[in-house]
Amino acid sequence: MRLYLPLVIFATLLKDSWQATKIKIDPAHQPSFISSSQVFKVKDQDTVVLPCEVANPGPYVLVWKRGIAVLSAGKTLVSPDPRVILNTDYSLEIKEVGPQDAGDYVCQIGTLEPKEITHTVEILVPPRISTVTSNGRVEVKKGASVRLECKASGNPVPKVTWSRKNNILPGGEQTVTTPTLVLDKVDRHQAGIYQCVASNGVGEDVKQQIFLHVLYPPEISVERPVVYSGEGMEAQLVCIVHGESQPEVLWYRDTMQLDTTELKLMESRGSRHTLVIRKVNKQDFGNYTCVADNQLGKTRKSIQLTGKPRPVKFNSPTTGKSRENYNISWEVESLSPIEEYKLLYRKLPDSAVTSDSQPQPLHHQSSKKPIQRGENKTASYSIGLGTYYSRPIKDRRLEWRDVILPAIPAQPVGMQSMSYVIRGLEPAQQYEARVQARNKFGWSSDSVSFTFKTTDTDESTTDTRHIFTENAIEDVQSVRSYRNNASTQLIFSKIIYLVFNTILLFFCFI
């Protein structure tokens, strides 16, 4: 058979050329191609027809070749492939083309100097995704990097586009075109379904999904790190726990694990884990910890249950009504009655607000009576404040002063309020104040720093009688209570001024 084929071709050629020699050839009527070389892009499994139209074919033999293989010669089809047909107009038809048919096809005229045209056949192949990373199920530890890959083939080479189901990509984009999607330092927010789509304009696009699973130790956030409560009340301590497959959560009081009892309940609803203390008693105040663990680690967070007051909130206006006095007021939430307050204040330097000295917590100090301290401040506050000694020249008026105040008795528990008139201030100056409150469980943490200002003009100076009858007496009292105050001189001059005013008033009445 192998020998037979070339033999046939040879015989055919011999026969045709023998005919040619017999015919007189007119050089003016040389054959020429009407068809020109072309590129054919054919979809897989379609049919392609390669033309080879010749003017003045004369007696010459037309041959189709692919590489060195002869497909047809004259009217004889040589190719044994049943999909190949030689049409009567010498066009070559190939049915059900496949990738193996891609390449150059030459149509040649057997003149003395052979002439030829070359058709190129490209087979268009729709996209196909051959492999995806880990067959579409990727598990990765938190903090690691991960490469998600979709290997796609087809002709032309397909584009691979990534998107994420019901979410944007970690980079913030809706879609990204790349064969490999790299995610750096993954965390639980990157977990989910990723989709790759391969397309090349031929046939249908194809898609695949990859499920990205991020493994991480439990993550806990506490709803409130400090829970304020009172005796006999209910307290709820809440930990929000995120983790693989709902980690188990245990509660500890200091180092001791807690069991559910009638008075202490542990509830879990989704990621929310609550320790409910039905009726808080004195011994329940303290440090509680929720602990969650899974195969990747153990996480804990602490919650403080306290009976102390919450930090104080100021509610007086930031600008006072008077030059020398300021009525500072505040409120505080406490579920036990407040016993006393500690008020700290100081003048702020004229220009910027500095925080050169912090008031020391005075939890150990307490007094039932309001005491004005001022003289030996330097001694009591400079202790432990090394910076003080490096600045020996200091305006003493800028130092913190403190007042211990008994609370107004028999206020209802819950929100409790208080006010105090700070006297002997300087006009048009800025002051800073802080307050702590104490109930039977201890002192509240420090309030935020509150800044207030005294006025430049005293509203009450317009009414002289008012000054005489009320303020004068108050001022005389304040001379006594501020005996240590450096402003004694100032007060004396004020009294002289008031006496003078009175005389003036007296004359007015006459």
Ligand X SMILES: *[C@@H]1O[C@H](CO)[C@@H](O)[C@H](O)[C@H]1NC(C)=O
Interface contacts to ligand X, rule CB under 6 A: 287, 289, 302, 304, 327, 329, 373, 376, 380, 419, 421
Tokens of 160: 């691979």
Least distance CB 452 / ligand X (angstroms): 12
89 vs 470 by CB, closer to ligand X:
470
Q: How far is the CB of 329 from ligand X (least distance, A)?
A: 4
Q: Whose Cβ is closer to ligand X: residue 93's or residue 474's?
A: 474
> What residue is closest to ligand X based on CB?
376
Stretch (H or E) spanning 266 = strand 264-269
Least distance in angstroms from the C-beta of 290 to ligand X = 11
Name which of 421 and 496 has its Cβ closer to ligand X.
421
Query: In 302-451, which residue ranges form alpha helices assigned H by DSSP?
Result: 377-382, 386-389
Q: Which residue has the tokens 């400079």?
A: 382
Shortest reach from residue 400's CB to ligand X, in Å: 12
**CA gyration radius for the chain?**
49
Which residues make beta-bridge pairs with 321?
none
Nearer CB in complex with ligand X: 119/438: 438
Reduced to 3 states (helix: H, G, I; strand: E, B; else coil), residue 305 is: strand
- What count of other Cβ atoms lies within 10 Å of the Cβ of residue 168? 11
Shortest distance in whole angstroms from residue 229 CB to ligand X: 16
Q: Smallest distance from the beta carbon of 245 to ligand X, in angstroms?
A: 25
- Rounded distance between C-alpha atoms, residue 345 and residue 374, angstroms: 11
Find the shortest distance in angstroms from Cβ 166 to ligand X.
39
Cα–Cα distance between 23 and 199 in angstroms, integer? Answer: 57
CA angle 100, 8, 67 (to 5 degrees): 30
The phi and psi torsions of 304 (rounded to 5 degrees) equal -100, 125
Q: Given the complex with ligand X, which of 153 and 380 has the nearer CB atom?
A: 380
Q: Give the CA distances from residue 443 to residues 128, 236, 316, 466, in Å, rounded to whole numbers and listed in that order.
A: 72, 22, 22, 40
CB-wise, 245 or 376, nearer to ligand X? 376
Q: Which is nearer to ligand X, 111 or 382 (CB)?
A: 382
